[in-house]
Amino acid sequence: MANTNLSQAKNAKNDEFYTQYHDIEKEVNAYIEYNPDVFEGKTILLPCDDPEWSNFTKYFAQNFEKFKLKKLISTSYAVESKKYNDGYQTTLFEKRNPNFDKKKTRIKGKIFTLTKDKTGDGRIDINDLDWQYMEGDGDFRSKEVKKLRDDADIIITNPPFSLFREFIAWIVEAKKQFLIIGNMNAITYKEVFPLIKENKLWLGATNFNRGMYFRVSDDFVYASTYKFERGQNGAKVNRVPGVCWFTNLDHGRRHQTVPLMTIRDNLKYHNKMKDKKSYDNYDNYDAIEVSLADSIPSDYKGVMGVPISFLDKYSPEQFEILGATQRGCHDEVPDTKRYDDYWEVRQNGKKTGSSGNKTNENANLVGNDGKKNYFINKDGKIIQAAYQRIFIRHKK
């Protein structure tokens, strides 16, 4: 129970990570470069956004004219509804504003809207934002925000990490265009992977291998193992690994094909392949193991299992995605074997007590790498699971 509370508290804290301006700018530039009119005449909704803090609001308000937007709406979540709200203070902006209401400030969401040059200075920008308290607390699942969603063309935000599944389902149900930040683990969620497979959702343009730095509150406490930068551009930051953008807006990177070597050249020249005689076949799938995206052979006609980081390089013109290991996501690449009569063993030879059922639907390779747990059957056959894999094939 104590552990559950601890992890809930940690999740709630992780929900209060704020995206940096340059990360938004870098990503959005890729869409503008690909299609300069991508936002023209559009209503953009930025939910889950704390507009007084948010760089999303700042960025789109400042670029309102350049992007030829029709309307920008940004909503925030009431502080009393947040699971983690230590250190929250009402901004001076709100306190000094004629709309300020002591009774509403902590329990109502806020909505910021931008449509026209309110100040009369000849341009539409952040100074023209109108705001008011919402009827409710600004929960994206509320009727009030759902209505805003339904009226918008594009939804852009970094949603609460702990509600990512719900958030993506919320967007997909409304069939909207979107650009959102999430963890790469979400790639294999049952709500997400089928969309990736059908090319209805893809990764954004920013490479996710580097991780992303988010602004955190002054009282944020770093994990004892944290060894990255703690400050950037005068703000306290925390690096989150494996974060990426998910979108259905098109960008140029996904139409660039990756240059590849043949099987022969990979086995001769690729650092990680040159000690091998051939690519390994999985024991339970009719596919070969390709443990690094840059060692995908150009001339293999069959199915290949690749790490999920492959999606950073995925171009639908070059490859088709057939499925992923686990979660029943691979109808087109069926299991050829199950391991219920195997048992799991540690490297010290001791059984863990788990049966081979645990490794069904993993991409399993024959042999023991001497590093991780393995599975063995009564005949002494040993197999080990590769990490999560995506099944792909060259586009014909």
Ligand X SMILES: C[S@@+](CC[C@H](N)C(=O)[O-])C[C@H]1O[C@@H](n2cnc3c(N)ncnc32)[C@H](O)[C@@H]1O
Among 44, 45, 48, 390, binds ligand X (CB under 6 A): 48
Binding mask 274-313 for ligand X (x = CB under 6 A): ----------------------------------------
List the interface residues with ligand X, window 56-75 (CB under 6 A). 56
Binding mask 159-188 for ligand X (x = CB under 6 A): xx--x-------------------------
Instruction: Select the span of 119-127, 132-140, 182-190, 369-377 touching ligand X (CB under 6 A).
Output: 132-140
**Are 20 and 232 a contacting pair, CB within 8 Å?**
yes
Which is nearer to ligand X, 171 or 290 (by Cβ)? Answer: 171
* 27 near ligand X (CB under 6 A): no
* 157 near ligand X (CB under 6 A): yes
Instruction: Select the span of 26-34, 42-50, 227-235, 237-245 touching ligand X (CB under 6 A).
Output: 42-50
The tally of CA atoms less than 13 A away on the side-chain side of residue 349 is 0
Closest separation in Å from C-beta 22 to ligand X: 13
* 133 near ligand X (CB under 6 A): no
| Residue position matching structure tokens 């002591």 | 102
Q: What tokens does 133 get?
A: 């308290």
Closest separation in Å from C-beta 323 to ligand X: 30
Among 23, 31, 44, 49, binds ligand X (CB under 6 A): 49
Among 39, 60, 64, 77, binds ligand X (CB under 6 A): 77
Closest separation in Å from C-beta 34 to ligand X: 23
**Are 182 and 159 a contacting pair, CB within 8 Å?**
yes
* 128 near ligand X (CB under 6 A): no
Q: Tell me the C-alpha distance between 66 and 211, whole Å.
A: 29
* 158 near ligand X (CB under 6 A): yes
Q: What tokens does 215 get?
A: 């602004």
Among 17, 193, 282, 339, binds ligand X (CB under 6 A): 17
CA-based R_g, the chain, Å: 24
List the interface residues with ligand X, window 81-110 (CB under 6 A). 82
3-state secondary structure of 325: coil
In the sheet that holds 231-232, the strands lie side by side as 18-19, 212-215, 235-240, 231-232
Q: With CA atoms as reference, report the closest residue to 321 among 296, 358, 284.
A: 296
> What is the total count of residues that contact ligand X (CB under 6 A)?
21
* 54 near ligand X (CB under 6 A): yes
CA distances (Å), origin 3, targets 6, 7, 8, 9, 280: 5, 6, 8, 10, 41
Handedness of CA 124, 130, 135, 136 (dihedral sign): positive
* 245 near ligand X (CB under 6 A): no
The DSSP code sequence of 127-159 is GG-EEEE-SS---TTSHHHHHHHHH-SEEEE--
Instruction: Select the span of 13-21, 198-206, 217-225, 281-289 touching ligand X (CB under 6 A).
Output: 13-21
Closest separation in Å from C-beta 109 to ligand X: 7
Q: Where are the alpha helices (DSSP H) in the chain?
A: 2-14, 21-34, 55-62, 92-95, 143-151, 164-173, 193-197, 263-269
Which is nearer to ligand X, 15 or 27 (by Cβ)? Answer: 15
Which is nearer to ligand X, 50 or 283 (by Cβ)? Answer: 50
3-state secondary structure of 307: strand
Among 23, 112, 138, 238, binds ligand X (CB under 6 A): 138
Q: Tell me the C-alpha distance between 374 and 356, whole Å.
A: 9
Which is nearer to ligand X, 10 or 118 (by Cβ)? Answer: 10
Q: Tell me the C-alpha distance between 256 and 302, whole Å.
A: 22
Q: Given the rule CB under 6 A, which residues bind ligand X?
A: 15-19, 48-50, 54-56, 77, 82, 138-140, 157-160, 163
